[in-house]
Amino acid sequence: MRVYFPATIDMLKKATADGRFTPVSGTGFALTPALRESYTSGSTEELEYVALMDAARASLRLLGTEGEGAPPRRVVVSADVDEATPRPDLDPAVVRLPGAVELDAIAAVHVDTEEAEDAVRAAAAVVDAADLGDEDAEFALGDAEDHELAWYAPQEIPFMLELL
């Protein structure tokens, strides 16, 4: 199963150093049966994109854990894992993993570009308010989500981190 894990730049640096990625609380997002049932139509690719964007939104919540000087960018780690357990009681796309993901299971990393930093910073400050229905906060969140995430192959991760 392809799982999309919310992450931060600091988490990527740690994963590169440790040789494995440890998702926060083992939480990720995937095309689960519950997610498929919650849409009346959509291809596998379209519904996996929904899971990816759920992970990108969750990444906003993690930005407060970043070290000093880390760029405000959404990060999503895509990995192919077998032991993901769907948690439809939390959200249709949520899955949980029992542990870390080895780097060789990572299929790609998706990261905001520098142009998105102002919008991401603003969205991170109001993501909880947006979830509670604040229209101004939802607008700020939409500004961040208008920026497409850049795609990096696993072997490109160290070089991308070096360039930040």
> Coil, strand or helix: which one is 14?
helix
Digit-coded pLDDT (tens) for 127-152:
999 989 999 999 999 999 999 999 99
Q: Helix (H, G, I), strand (E, B), or coil: what is residue 150?
A: strand
Residues 55, 59: Cα–Cα separation, whole Å? 6
- Per-residue pLDDT at 64 exceeds 90: no
Q: Is residue 143 part of a domain?
A: yes
Instruction: Decide if pLDDT at 12 tops 90.
Output: yes
Average of per-residue pLDDT across 58-67: 84
* Cα first-last separation, the chain: 30
Looking at the 3D structure of the chain, how many domains does it have? 1
The tens digit of pLDDT for each residue in 18-34 reads 999 999 999 999 999 99
**pLDDT value, residue 67:** 64
Per-residue pLDDT, averaged over 35-50, amounts to 93
- What amino acid is encoded at 137 in this protein? A
Examine residue 105 and state whether it is found in any structural domain, yes or no.
yes
* Position 160 in a domain: no
- pLDDT at res. 112: 97
Residue 3 · residue 84 · CB < 8 Å? yes
Residue 90 belongs to some domain of the structure = yes
Separation of CA 122 from chain center = 17
Answer yes or no: is 128 within a domain: yes
Q: Are 145 and 56 in contact (CB under 8 A)?
A: yes
Provide the token pair at 12.
Answer: 């990527």
How far is the C-alpha of 4 from the C-alpha of 25, rounded, in Å? 14
What is the pLDDT averaged over residues 53-76? 89
Domain that holds residue 9: 2-154
Give the pair of three-digit tokens for residue 160: 């991308």
pLDDT band at residue 66 under the 50/70/90 scheme: confident
For residue 117, tell me if it sits in a domain: yes
Q: Is residue 163 part of a domain?
A: no
For residue 101, give Cα distances in angstroms to 55, 106, 128, 138, 143: 16, 8, 28, 32, 31
**Residue 162, in any domain of the structure:** no
